[in-house]
Every structure is written in structure tokens, then in C-alpha cells.
Amino acid sequence: MILKWTLVTKRMRPHGQLQKKLQEKISKLETHLEHFPADAVQLQINLEHNPKKSLFTVALTLRLPSNTLRAEKQGPDPVPALDLAVKALLREIAVLKSALRRESQWPRVAGQKLLYPSAIPLQMARLSVGQ
């Protein structure tokens, strides 16, 4: 899937290293968005420099058919702020995909066996002793 994206900058121009990092992060997002229709997914990247505080703000807005996800991070350098914003957006995508799959309603039998493996032999032993 090829993700449609737009870049909006304010009071700055993206340099070569930042553009390379943007391409890497967009390709990483594409792998997590494969199951969504390609024509209905759009990413908007806002980069802003605040000269008074010497901070860079990176805001990512991902428009999906069912929701709009947004992550905004600040930092003294735009590249680490971009990394943090992408990580936050990936967490939001994971939560959304989990909700769409309705994972909270799935039975948790396997997890119970892993949490309490010693309880199962004790129950079997009690049954065999009682008979």
C-alpha cells in the first residue's frame, strides 16, 4: 500500500536528514496500515518551529475510514520529535486495530493456563483422590 501524505511546514524548511527520516517513518506506517483501503487513508504531517522557545513541534494526523488519529510531540530537534510522534501514532493504530477486531471480547483460556499452570494438576489430583 502506498500512503498518501502531505507535509505542512511553518517557520522552517525540512533538510535532507529530516526528509530521509520522514520517508523511513512513512514506510513503517504503511506496513501497519495494509488492511485499510489505500484510497481512504491519508496522513498529514505538520512541522513547526517555535523560535521563542527553540522547540520543534511535530503533529501527525492520520485520517482513516472509521477514525481520525492524531499524535503531537515537541522537542529541541525535529528528528527525535518525529520519532516520538510516530511511536505515539503507532500505539494509537494498535489500539484502534484491537478495538476493530473486538479483542476485548475474545476468550482468554490460553492466558489463564499460562498464568496458573500449577492449579490444573492440583485440581486433577483432588479429583483422583476423592474417587
Q: What is the CATH number of the domain that holds 63?
A: 3.30.160.100
Could you give the CA distance from residue 48 to residue 70 in angstroms, rounded to a whole number?
Answer: 16
- Domain span at residue 95 reads 4-130
| Residue 127 grid coordinates | 479429583
How confident is the model over 84-131, as pLDDT tens digits?
999 999 999 999 999 999 988 877 766 566 666 665 555 555 555 555
How many structural domains is the chain composed of? 1
How confident is the model over 1-30, as pLDDT tens digits?
899 999 999 999 999 999 999 999 999 999
Q: Is 18 left (phi over 0), alpha (psi -120 to 50) or beta?
A: alpha
Q: What is the pLDDT of residue 127?
A: 55
Q: List CB contacts of 78: < 8 A, sequence separation 6 or more.
A: 12, 14, 18, 47, 49, 56, 58
Could you give the CA distance from residue 87 to residue 34 in angstroms, rounded to a whole number?
Answer: 17
Is the predicted pLDDT of residue 31 greater than 60, yes or no? Answer: yes
Is the predicted pLDDT of residue 74 greater than 90, yes or no? Answer: yes
Q: What is the pLDDT of residue 4?
A: 95
